[in-house]
Amino acid sequence: MTKIDWTRLSPHLPLDGDDPRYIPRPSRGGAQLAAFLKNGMGPIAVTGPVGCGKSTELAVAANSLRLEGITTVHERLDRVMDMHSVQPQNVYARLVRALALMGQTPGVPVVPGSILFPNVPAHEPPPEGWHDRLLRLLRHLRSQSPTGRMALLIDGFEKSPVHAILDTVSFVLSLSTECEMALVVPPSMVTGPDSYSITSQVRRVFPVSPMQVRQARGNDEGAFFFRLFASRISANEPDADPLITSDLQFIVGKAAEFSGGIPRTFLQLVQDAAGYASVNGRELPTREDLLDALKDHTASMKRLLREGDVDLLHRARGTDGLEIPIDARIRLLTHGLLLEHEDANRTVTLSVHPLLDPLIHGKYLF
Amino acid sequence: MRTAATALFKALQSGRPLVVVFYEELSSRDQLISEIEILAPEGVSVERTEDIERAFQEPQRVLLLTPPNEKTALETLDGRREMLRERTRPAVLFLLKGGEAERALPEVPGLASWLQGQEIDPDELSSIDIVAERARFQEETGKAPEERLSRGSNRSSAPAPPEPPYASCAARAGRTGRVK
């Protein structure tokens, strides 16, 4: 068996839209998001708990739109600015830059300098309002697009405090008359009593949700996690067969269950179990190694709980959670401490993250 | 066996960009820094700094971050965490246990998610919760520890397992279990 490089799991790295390691989600993935946009069903607010794959699915949607001939700008604000201290003018300047660069992409007509107004420092007001400037750019690119269509996909707003970006997001959404648009935003921006200003401007909220792994073993969601593991591990080594042992299959299956259906948590758990195996001089993780990893993760999750949260979790599980105070519900869902699942009849049921088993059941339900 | 040394060793080798280590007081932070310097992979540069900006600039070095304002540092790392993606060696952020920064972790869900499993509380890991360990042992073996030990003492001694790779490092680090 090929020696496994566990660092390849890279739980912290979202994938690019054309990354061969991408495994489509059983539902609500990038292809579906792209289909909504292609059919003019935007603007769309993409949201979901941390680690669910929002950035990857947005990148996949952007790639899919490009392949359809739709001129697409995919801007990752979080890779270039501090999302805790976002200034609206920096976001606008960034979008102008992204659109201008798109104008320089081979196959896409160059944006005339008269539209760009180059060399304007981000901290200075532009010679005309940001809105009009962006409008000109979008219209120019759309008119030159082979399909006459333009899409703007923006990632990163979910990392900002809502109050700091409300006006900026609202401004960006005002441009959605000119293009198809999807923005990744924090759950609290589209849920609860203060969400009206944004939900009234979007046509659809697209939740990238945790997958239901624990309650239905061996289903599509379970298979997704095995494929996710194999794709990350065996990239560049098509002959590698990391799933060769049944012991490792057991560990991957259990890690999927305890991930709560959150891809990042799954990759972290497998990597951490492998880390403990390595510490103990083993190539492959055992049940004990995974238990040690679970304990690390449970300790991390417990730090996120506030006084009274355990009672709330007990009350919420198995219900739709509507009786839980809205602020607490959004907070617990954002962290993935509570997991929201929707069945075929669109009935929503909440469950407590399996890593909190020791608090809810007194032990891990291994 | 999950101890402070094994958890630190695992975190340093993970390839993930950020690790948090909790400390009780400044003297224990200094001791932890010494331990990490010992546990760091051979040939890897390790440096202590108060300047959080260096986490965004030096991706191949293990950085031990001791910022003067830990909460501000946490928020900066959260706001710019995508810029840490290139790190091949972790930045280790030291946070005062029970301090403002630890209490602010629920306010930074993205970073908290990145850090899951990479937050190490050596003091807690060095403590042995006798009640929990006893319950776990009984659940796993179906026997009380005393019963198991008395049976085990009659057996001939098996050959010692091979020494794990971290053992010499852990021994040098000198961290032992403490009974809670």
> Is the CB of B79 less than 8 angstroms away from the CB of A159?
yes
Integer Cα distance of B41 and A121 in angstroms: 44
Q: What is the mean pLDDT of residues A248-264?
A: 92
Contact A191, A330 (CB under 8 A): yes
Instruction: Nearest by CB to A304, from B9, B112, B164: name it.
Output: B112
Q: What is the pLDDT of residue A118?
A: 42
The minimum CA-CA distance between A172 and chain B, rounded to whole Å, is: 20
Q: Among A84-98, A139-153, A303-317, B162-176, where is mean pLDDT lowest?
A: B162-176
Q: What is the pLDDT of residue B108?
A: 94
Beta strands in chain B (DSSP E): 18-23, 46-49, 62-65, 91-96, 119-120, 127-128, 178-179
Contact A235, A8 (CB under 8 A): yes
Q: What is the mean pLDDT of residues A229-254?
A: 74
CATH 1.10.10.10 for domain A30-207: no
Which is nearest to A350 in space by CA: A212, A216, A256?
A: A212
The minimum CA-CA distance between A98 and chain B, rounded to whole Å, is: 18
Which B positions 59-118 lie with beta carbon below 8 A of chain A? 75-76, 78-83, 85, 102, 105-106, 109-110, 112-118
Nearest CA in chain A to B82: A79
Instruction: Nearest by CB to B79, from A13, A84, A281: name it.
Output: A84
**pLDDT grade for A186, boundaries at 50, 70 and 90:** very high
Burial A204-233, CB ≥16 within 10 A → b, else e: ebbbbbbbbbbeeeeeebbebbeebbbbbb
Q: What is the pLDDT of residue A37?
A: 97
Nearest CA in chain A to B7: A276
Beta strands in chain A (DSSP E): 44-47, 71-76, 150-155, 180-184, 204-207, 338-342, 348-352
> Is the CB of B106 less than 8 angstroms away from the CB of A264?
no
Integer Cα distance of B40 and B10 in angstroms: 10
Q: Which residues of B touch A287 (CB under 8 A)?
A: none
Q: Which residues of A touch B113 (CB under 8 A)?
A: 50-51, 264-265, 335-336
Integer Cα distance of A17 and B136 in angstroms: 45
pLDDT digits (tens, 9 = 90+) for B61-80: 999 999 999 999 999 999 99
Domains and CATH numbers, chain B: 4-126 (3.40.50)
Q: What is the pLDDT of residue A314?
A: 94
Which is nearest to B5 in space by CA: B180, B159, B164?
A: B164
- The percentage of chain B sitting over the pLDDT mark of 70, rounded to a whole number, equals 77
Integer Cα distance of B63 and B49 in angstroms: 7
Q: Which amino acid is at A47?
A: T
Q: What is the pLDDT of residue A248?
A: 87
Residue A216 has pLDDT above 70, yes or no: no
Residue B177 has pLDDT above 50, yes or no: no
DSSP 8-state assignment for residue B53: G
Can you state the angle between helices A263-279 and A246-258, rounded to 10 degrees? 130
pLDDT digits (tens, 9 = 90+) for A59-76: 999 999 999 999 999 999
DSSP 8-state assignment for residue A1: -
Q: Which amino acid is at A141?
A: L
Residue A110 has pLDDT above 50, yes or no: no
Q: What is the pLDDT of residue A4?
A: 86
Q: Which residues of B touch A301 (CB under 8 A)?
A: 116
pTM of the model: 0.87
Residue A171 has pLDDT above 60, yes or no: yes
Q: What is the mean pLDDT of residues A150-159?
A: 95
Q: What is the pLDDT of residue B154?
A: 54
Residue, of A173 and A97, whose pLDDT is higher: A173
Residue A238 has pLDDT above 80, yes or no: no
Q: Among A14-28, A168-182, A347-361, B130-144, where is mean pLDDT lowest?
A: B130-144
Both tokens assigned to B78: 């959260």
Q: What is the pLDDT of residue B138?
A: 75
B142 touches chain A (CB under 8 A): no
Q: What is the mean pLDDT of residues A175-197?
A: 91
Contact A95, A179 (CB under 8 A): no
Q: What is the pLDDT of residue B44?
A: 86
Integer Cα distance of A325 and B72 in angstroms: 29
Q: What is the pLDDT of residue B160?
A: 53
Measure CA of the first residue to CA of the last residue in chain B; give whole Å: 17
Residue A123 has pLDDT above 60, yes or no: no
B41 touches chain A (CB under 8 A): no
**pLDDT grade for A130, boundaries at 50, 70 and 90:** confident
DSSP 8-state assignment for residue B88: S
Q: What is the mean pLDDT of residues B152-157?
A: 52
Which is nearest to B173 in space by CA: B2, B44, B40?
A: B40
Q: Which residues of A touch B81 (CB under 8 A)?
A: 78, 159
Q: What is the pLDDT of residue B175?
A: 47
Residue, of A34 and A145, whose pLDDT is higher: A34
pLDDT digits (tens, 9 = 90+) for B9-52: 999 989 999 999 999 999 999 999 999 988 888 888 899 999 99
> Is the CB of B117 less than 8 angstroms away from the CB of A269?
yes
Q: How many other CB atoms are found less than 10 A from the CB of residue B79? A: 23
Nearest CA in chain B to A54: B110
- Please, what is the Cα angle at A255 between A254 and A260, to 5 degrees? 105
Taking all residues of chain B, what is their mean pLDDT, rounded to a whole number? 83
A11 touches chain B (CB under 8 A): yes
> Is the CB of B15 less than 8 angstroms away from the CB of A334?
no
**pLDDT grade for A119, boundaries at 50, 70 and 90:** very low
**pLDDT grade for B174, boundaries at 50, 70 and 90:** very low
Residue B124 has pLDDT above 60, yes or no: yes
Residue A89, judged by CB atoms within 10 A of its CB (0-12, 13-18, 19+), counts as middle
Nearest CA in chain A to B5: A279
Residues found in chain A: 366
**pLDDT grade for A256, boundaries at 50, 70 and 90:** very high
Q: What is the pLDDT of residue B164?
A: 55
Residue B40, judged by CB atoms within 10 A of its CB (0-12, 13-18, 19+), counts as buried
| CA torsion, ordered A161, A192, A351, A356, to nearest 10 deg | 30
A269 touches chain B (CB under 8 A): yes
Q: What is the pLDDT of residue A240?
A: 53
- Would you list the domain boundaries of chain A? 6-12+211-303, 30-207, 309-360
Q: Mutate one of A279, A330, A363 to test the B interface: name it (highest B CB count within 10 A).
A: A279
Taking all residues of chain A, what is their mean pLDDT, rounded to a whole number? 87
Which is nearest to A266 in space by CA: A220, A211, A318, A341?
A: A211
Q: Among A84-88, A325-329, B107-111, where is mean pLDDT lowest?
A: A84-88
The residues that bridge with A151 in the sheet, in sequence order, are A72, A180
